[in-house]
A and B are shown apart, each in its own frame.
Chain A
Amino acid sequence: MSGYSLSELKSGGLMKQKEKDLFSLRLRIVGGFVDASQLIKLSEIANKYGKGHIHLTTRQGVEIPNINLKDVEKVKKEIGKAGLQMGACGQRVRTVTACQGKECSHGLIDCFLLAKDIDKEYFGIGGHPHKFKIGITGCPNGCIKPQENDLGIMGRLRKKFIKEKCNYCGLCASVCPVNAIKVNKGSNDIVFYEDKCIGCGDCVHSCPTNAWQKRQEGYSIFVGGKMGKFPKLGIKVFDFIETRGKVLDIIKKSLGFYKEFGKIGERFRDTLDRVGIDKYKKAVI
């Protein structure tokens, strides 16, 4: 085995296959974003060292299967030359997933920018009781499934109403998914039920006269989501966090809490259930 230990190999994104001396090589990808030129390089590597195919993971990752142990160092060098790095396995902070954010017509936040910040600070950091997954979705449509992550982030929007601009066409009430707006065309009257609003921004994006406008963008935070053998959906712990800095601080404190209170082999959700979600909330905010 040329001096490698299995755990050492795993830390760097190499996963042993059933076949002797063959490994699947996992890469560090941020928010599913890969340069087109890097994809060409990966294709070359898969053809040269693997069996000519690539596996795309459920977490937007890229894995090149069928790499022989004797070629691992050479492949690592080639990956480095392409500006890519090895991924993470084991009890570490994993690939940060993200949707297209503001490139999508529904996206409310810049998911990729946040994903890069989180990746830079926390990717691959170990010493936790188990793996830790973070996902960022741009709006309440939740395409990235933030509730399936140990910590999920969702873009949200707070809005304002400019009465003078409104022509009471009623479109906002028709597009609102939770009936948070009532429009009375006869008496030119609008009622907004703020407690019902989920902050998706559909009214703002549809309003023909810009009477509904964005006031502020922010982030909802979910914790304790996981899949695997015992799936559980994440719980929304913070409805509207106003700044990216504050989100990063919550992640830092969440990882600290997990390290302090988690038992070895326990997922974050199980720690939260055992120790108490209120204690967690007090510790991070």
Chain B
Amino acid sequence: MNEIKPGSVLDLRGVVCPNNFVRAKLKLEEMRSGEILEIIIDDGEPIKNVPRSIKEEGHKIIKVEKIDGHFRLLIEKV
């Protein structure tokens, strides 16, 4: 499978809950349906909270990668 190219990238390392989710949500609101947002979030509380909140909003998480204690998520806007 070819690597999917995100339309936007948000580095949310060091951003606490729920600000990380809110920033991702605001970014997604600016985007068009089907576009891909890449976010990078910390392990711990962020990985427990952010993906479920994104899912509750109806967006699709298409890839999850763990890199050096952080997580890279690709999100397809609903």
Residues of A that sit less than 8 Å from B by CB: 105, 169-171, 174-175, 202, 205-208
Contacts and interface: CB of A to CB of B under 8 A. Distances in A.
Contacts of B43: 174
B53 A105 contact: yes
A248 B77 CA distance: 44
A101 to B, nearest CB: 16
Most chain B beta-carbon contacts within 10 A, residue among A174, A175, A208? A208
B56 A208 contact: no
B27 interface: no
Interface in B23-78: 43, 47-48, 51-53, 55-56, 60-64, 66, 71
Contact of B48 (A169, A170, A175, A207): A175
Task: Give 4 closest A-B pairs by Cβ, nearest first.
Answer: A208-B61, A169-B64, A205-B52, A206-B52
A255 to B, nearest CB: 38
Interface of B: 43, 47-48, 51-53, 55-56, 60-64, 66, 71
B60 A174 contact: no
Contact of A206 (B51, B60, B62, B66): B51
Given A105-B52, A205-B52, A205-B55, A175 B47 contact: yes
Nearest to A169: B64
Given A105-B53, A206-B55, A208-B55, A169 B47 contact: no
A90 to B, nearest CB: 43
B56 A171 contact: no
A34 B18 CA distance: 27
B66 A170 contact: yes
Contacts of A170: 64, 66
Contacts of A105: 52-53, 56
B12 to A, nearest CB: 16
B53 A169 contact: no
Contacts of A202: 48, 52
A174 B66 CA distance: 9
Most chain A beta-carbon contacts within 10 A, residue among B51, B53, B56, B71? B51
Given A208-B61, A208-B62, A208-B64, A171 B53 contact: no
Contacts of B55: 205-208
Nearest to B53: A105
